[in-house]
Structure 1
Amino acid sequence: MTILSFLRELYSLETLDTRFTNSASTSIKSASAKEDEPKPDSQRGGKPLPADATGRLPRWEFWFYIVVVFTSVPQMYWSVVSISQPDSPNYSKYEHLLSPGWMFGRKVDNSDAQYAGFRDNIPYLALLVIFHPLLRRTCEKFAVSGKPSSNETAKPTSRSNQAEIRPRHRLTYDFYSALVFVVALTGFSSLKVLLILFINYKIGTSLPRNAIPATTWIFNIGILFANELGQGYRYSSIANSMIPFYPAAPALGKFLDFYGGLMPRWEVLFKVTVLRMISFNFDHYWSLDRSRAGSPLEKKQLDPSALSDKERVSMPATPAAFSSYRTYVAYILYPPLYIAGPIMTFNDYISQCTYRSSSVTTRRTALYGIRFLATLLCMELMQHTAYAVAISKASPDWSTYTPFQLSMLAYFNLHIIWLKLMIPWRFFRLWALVDGIDPPENMIRCMSDNYSALGFWRSWHRSYNRWLTRYVYIPLGGGPGRGVGVVRGTINLLLVFTFVALWHDINLQLLTWGWLATFFILPEVFGTMAFPASKWKTRPAAYRYICGVGATFNILLMMASSLVGFAVGLDGLMGLVHGIIGSWHGALYMLTACFILFTGVQVMFEHREDEKRKGIKLKC
């Protein structure tokens, strides 16, 4: 294998997640049957798909765009590096936010508290990736070497026997390892976690069927607010109200709070847990309908060991799985996915515990690990050379920067946000893959390889997007263009993004971001309606240019909403915009920047057309 072919395989969509190169209804086993030997990309993904109305770029035009993009990107990066030097005017204002580094003799910008918590604990997390799956294999080996039952002795390799033995071993280990993990992370606060889990379990399994949906939503949204407002229900706060009845309560409360585990703020981690709690309750709620109609597996004559991704998610787990509290806890607190996801549905988790997914192979997992390390190294390079986060936090004198430097500070702030989220997500997914579970990939494309607002939200935190689609978006009726009116669809989108904003954090800044994200999607919706692709099939070049202008506008809107929600806020965005276009030099620069974005969009169009020629079509 040449270095070039290795890099193609390393950065292929199939290495990232087989769900991207196979139809959601295609059996993973059948799709993986002939993948023991590496194949070129031209042989992956099935039959070529028809091109869009944008058509294929002429070769000369494509290379013109490539030259513009590859000339611009180094200048973009260097503009932030140049203002991150010790001799830059504002360096003294943010130097205190920098930490000792290990690359090029430079300091590192580790000022983002969210990512710093992950980065500083990478050595300990790496040990978990090694020892957690290793301990599982050891436990299973001892379990298998023990005295087998008569049934196991009679049919040690039968499929029905595997469907009984494998989940029993996995779920038993997941349950006990999850308890140990959550106690180590949250200390005595694990009692609060388990109490909330128990109440949700009773809602999902003990209430009358018609009461489950509304009660589930009320309880879980209420928990999000209560956790935030109650700051995790500190034992000391609870103890102070008990002084008249138990004078020693404050001392006990302080003792319990002191042993709060490695991550005392358990309520921050619990936001992802809430999504799994809702998934369990609704998967059980929908299974009650399926159980009355009979087994879908028997009706469709499906092989349970070769279900497609769509079938694993939609096919209900067995009644025994829903009735087992230990199975419920094993799913909710599954260690590799507990802290940050990716998010799996209960049905998918049980299916993969019963039959190992054929997409989990040693080679693919190893390639995924190499790709993760390359991304981690990229983040380290950014943190050591471009101090965009520290500069923004220090509120420097913006007038000392040129419009180009200001816009690049905003741009690289967004890139670091993308990396700081993608790296933990990929780390925890890698842990799950090593452990034999294949959760969905959260990030499909590079942040800079997006021109569609709708496509961007499908590829950013993809497992969360899938969760929203299954449990919120579709039950509400969908959005514009899905059989509902534009007004109704817009209201549905607004409700979805409002939930997303409140789920992230209960503050006005993120709520503003959620509403902006909704309204910034509308130009794309209206533009698609005004310029349908079906009417431009005879004029592909003109349609491609129209789409390029719209996509450029889309990118500017997406950058603005993301900066408001996750970086500088609304006031900070206004300051950046004023600094960029507050003079004729800035306005001229803005026109140039839009042209560069337009060329980048044309390359993105061609990239997607190339994927279609390989039989791959992603909605992003």
Structure 2
Amino acid sequence: MGASSLLRELYSLDTLDTRFTTSSSVPLKSVDENSHKSVEREGKALPTDVSPPRWRTPEFYFYTLVFLFCVPQMYWAVVEVSQPDSPNYSKYEHLLSPGWLLGRKVDNSDGQYASFRDNVLYLAVLLVLHPLLRRLYEQLTGHGTPTVNGNGKAKYSSVEAYLRLQSRVSFDFYSALVYISALNGFSMLKILLILYVNFKIGTSLPRNRIPAATWVFNIVILFANELTQGYPYSTLVQTLAPFLPAASDWAKFLDSHAGLNPRWEVLFKITVLRMISFNFDHYWSLDRARVGSPIEKKQLDPAALSERDRVAMPAPEATYKSFRTYVAYVLYPPLYLAGPIVTFNDYISQSMHPAPSITTRRTILYGIRFLITLFCMEFLLHTIYVVAISKASPDWSTYTPFQLSMLAYFNLHIIWLKLMIPWRFFRLWALIDGMDPPENMVRCMSDNYSAFGFWRSWHRSFNRWTIRYLYIPLGGGVGGGTGRVRGILNMLAVFSFVALWHDINLRLLMWGWLVVLFVLPEVLATMAFPKSKWRNRPEAYRVLCGIGAVINILLMMAANLVGFAVGLDGLMGLVNGIIGSWQGAMFMLGACFALFVGVQVMFEHREEEKRHGIRLKC
């Protein structure tokens, strides 16, 4: 295999996640049999909705020149304002830390990413140690050993699958208890109490009360965790037993032994999603229990279920009644801190039958890709200080419109990387451990032009979770005018929950509402300019879509800057600095042209995927 072939394989969608190259309704055994083989269409006619390649046309040669000129200029504009001799350097210098690359300081001022970056070596030890301990446990117990068929492939019988489930659940349960005791110290007692109450809601209440009780309890927990800052024992004692000095001393002792992560409530939000998943998967299983096992009715192979079946088909009834299995799922160590999110049904299915999508080669390539991304982030943090600049609230008037726009643009890139890197690390840990969760980031931040597509590809497992457990139960969005209105109202409810789930503050709530507001132009434009009416004018339609996509990108950048970077006031300062002058307005026109060029390349990239049989809704 040549270097170019290896590079293509490394950056293929199949390496990132086989869910992107295999239909959710296709049994996963085909993924294993065709691992890393792209879909060839040579000698075959293209689908009628796919255009011939445009890469070697004069139009795209021109786009190549635009890329070669613009991209280096974009990066260098931010490097210039990150030099010691820049006007605002003294305002943010205190936010920089000693670095190790290129003799420069590093911008480690983002607290969320710093908590990962400062502990990545310790996490790497766990990534190696945890799967090794599982292998040792399985060897000592003798569980989980499959039968080998005539082709030399492992095949689990129903008894062996059950034993494998028991083995994995037992190890996950005890390793989770050790893990959260080290992370959260005596706060693990609060966590286990919350888990127990949710478990009883999902398994003991009458069936018709489970949904409402689940939502009320978990939303209350989100607010209570935030408002009480994790229920310190000393505060609880002062409230419940103010006249017991001995209890006060014990409370202080417990609070002083809160583990490596005393603020357990900050990262507990991802656990809330798994708690809701368990309750609703059990709730829906009660309906299907009346009609018998779907696997038996459809005569499916439980070892080769499709992605859709693994998520939708109920787990064995006994697993919903076991508190140990529930804790093992909710606190599964590789995914406990940040996800990605695996539904309870999927967790049980993969615990019984390993996903054929997990291969040694694919996992190694995924690990290499993660390391390259990690180094890319280090390079950026050592050469551009956009996070520190935005935190220092500098005098925006000292920057040119081009520099201001690039500060905003690269700020969003840092946000994208700081989320993607931990997600990929924890997914890599799960893959090594034999669990295949969904990939959270589908495309690069700069490879998005649709608001709908962007939210499908950003925190994808959370997007799938909101669709399964919130959007569809609310009624989703059906066809027709009334259905679209209902769909928009449901989206408003979904993004309000998403905003409050991230953090209980007005800025993120505004972000959620802005996202829905900025989706409206895309919805209205799709209704006003349906593709079916432009079949005879495909090039004009492509240009029209490009103009709409540029507007979409600007709106999405504004919404995310408000929610995750500079806030509404900071955004207004940036916008005023960019377009508040004649030069700024001219720059904005040039920037829109550059975005239009980028959008046309995005269009063609997706057409190329379709030519290879890949159709992503993002």
Match of 1:99 among 97, 100, 117: 97
1:225-276 superposed Cα distances (whole Å, 9 cap, x missing partner): 1111111000111122345442222211111011001111111111000000
Structure-1 separation of matches of 2:512 and 2:389? 26
Higher mean C-alpha displacement, 118-127 vs 474-483: 474-483
Match of 2:380 among 371, 379, 382: 382
Match of 2:602 among 601, 604, 619: 604
- Partner of residue 20, structure 1: 20
Amino acid at match of 2:459: H
- Partner of residue 499, structure 1: 497
Structure 2 residues not aligned, in runs of 5+: 147-153
Deviation of 1:592 (Å): 0.1
Amino acid at match of 1:529: M
Change (3 A) 1:338 1:53: same
- Partner of residue 437, structure 2: 439
Deviation of 1:353 (Å): 0.2
Structure-2 separation of matches of 1:389 and 1:93? 13
1:368-379 aligned at under 5 Å gives the runs 368-379=366-377
Deviation of 1:34 (Å): 3.2
Structure-1 separation of matches of 2:355 and 2:41? 22
1:526-565 aligned at under 5 Å gives the runs 526-565=524-563
SS of 2:615's equivalent in the other structure is coil
Structure-1 separation of matches of 2:524 and 2:573? 30
1:273-288 aligned at under 5 Å gives the runs 273-288=271-286
Structure-1 separation of matches of 2:53 and 2:510? 38
Structure-2 separation of matches of 1:609 and 1:157? 38
Deviation of 1:55 (Å): 8.6
1:358 aligns with 2:356: yes
- Partner of residue 49, structure 2: 51
Structure-2 separation of matches of 1:65 and 1:228? 49
Deviation of 1:478 (Å): 1.5
- Partner of residue 248, structure 2: 250
Amino acid at match of 2:288: R
| Conservation of the 8 A alpha-carbon contact between 1:205 and 1:323 | yes
Structure-2 separation of matches of 1:237 and 1:228? 14
Change (3 A) 1:300 1:99: same
Amino acid at match of 2:434: G
| Conservation of the 8 A alpha-carbon contact between 1:48 and 1:614 | no
Structure-2 separation of matches of 1:310 and 1:20? 13
Deviation of 1:4 (Å): 0.6
1:569 aligns with 2:567: yes
Structure-1 separation of matches of 2:357 and 2:227? 42
Structure-1 separation of matches of 2:223 and 2:38? 50
Structure-2 separation of matches of 1:191 and 1:276? 18
| Conservation of the 8 A alpha-carbon contact between 1:497 and 1:514 | yes
Deviation of 1:79 (Å): 0.3
- Partner of residue 258, structure 2: 260
Change (3 A) 1:297 1:48: farther
Deviation of 1:479 (Å): 3.2
1:5 aligns with 2:5: yes
1:100-133 superposed Cα distances (whole Å, 9 cap, x missing partner): 0001000000000000000000000000000000
- Partner of residue 450, structure 1: 448
Deviation of 1:209 (Å): 0.3
1:156-305 aligned at under 5 Å gives the runs 159-305=157-303
Deviation of 1:476 (Å): 1.2
- Partner of residue 151, structure 1: none
1:347 aligns with 2:345: yes
Change (3 A) 1:147 1:463: closer
Amino acid at match of 2:175: S
Deviation of 1:88 (Å): 0.8
SS of 2:34's equivalent in the other structure is coil
1:490 aligns with 2:488: yes
Amino acid at match of 1:344: V
- Partner of residue 33, structure 1: 33
Structure-1 separation of matches of 2:387 and 2:221? 32
Change (3 A) 1:173 1:47: farther
Change (3 A) 1:41 1:74: farther
Match of 2:117 among 119, 128, 131: 119
SS of 2:440's equivalent in the other structure is coil
| Conservation of the 8 A alpha-carbon contact between 2:116 and 2:422 | yes
SS of 2:544's equivalent in the other structure is helix
| Conservation of the 8 A alpha-carbon contact between 1:188 and 1:257 | yes
Structure-2 separation of matches of 1:147 and 1:469? 36
1:87 aligns with 2:52: no
Deviation of 1:29 (Å): 1.0
SS of 2:237's equivalent in the other structure is helix
Counting matched residue pairs gives 610
- Partner of residue 422, structure 2: 424
Deviation of 1:160 (Å): 1.6
- Partner of residue 315, structure 2: 317
Match of 2:334 among 333, 336, 360: 336
| Conservation of the 8 A alpha-carbon contact between 1:418 and 1:447 | yes
Amino acid at match of 2:26: T
Amino acid at match of 2:113: Y
Change (3 A) 1:147 1:588: closer
Amino acid at match of 2:193: L
1:266-315 superposed Cα distances (whole Å, 9 cap, x missing partner): 11111000000000000000000000011100111100000010110001
Percent identity over the alignment?
Answer: 69
- Partner of residue 149, structure 2: none
Deviation of 1:47 (Å): 9.5
RMSD: 2.0
- Partner of residue 462, structure 1: 460
1:320-345 superposed Cα distances (whole Å, 9 cap, x missing partner): 11111100000000000000000000
Change (3 A) 1:100 1:479: same
Deviation of 1:84 (Å): 0.5
Structure-1 separation of matches of 2:542 and 2:297? 46
| Conservation of the 8 A alpha-carbon contact between 1:188 and 1:259 | yes
Deviation of 1:39 (Å): 3.4
| Conservation of the 8 A alpha-carbon contact between 2:143 and 2:164 | no
Structure 1 residues not aligned, in runs of 5+: 149-155
TM-score (norm 2): 0.96
Change (3 A) 1:76 1:470: same
Higher mean C-alpha displacement, 122-131 vs 474-483: 474-483
1:387-429 superposed Cα distances (whole Å, 9 cap, x missing partner): 0000111111111100000000000000000000000000000
Deviation of 1:63 (Å): 1.8
Deviation of 1:70 (Å): 2.8
Deviation of 1:66 (Å): 2.2
Amino acid at match of 1:573: L
| Conservation of the 8 A alpha-carbon contact between 2:144 and 2:160 | no
Structure-1 separation of matches of 2:143 and 2:575? 67
Structure-2 separation of matches of 1:222 and 1:482? 36
Structure-1 separation of matches of 2:20 and 2:63? 27
Higher RCO (CA < 8 A, seq sep 6+)? 1
TM-score (norm 1): 0.96
Structure-1 separation of matches of 2:60 and 2:478? 33
Change (3 A) 1:569 1:147: closer
| Conservation of the 8 A alpha-carbon contact between 1:22 and 1:31 | yes
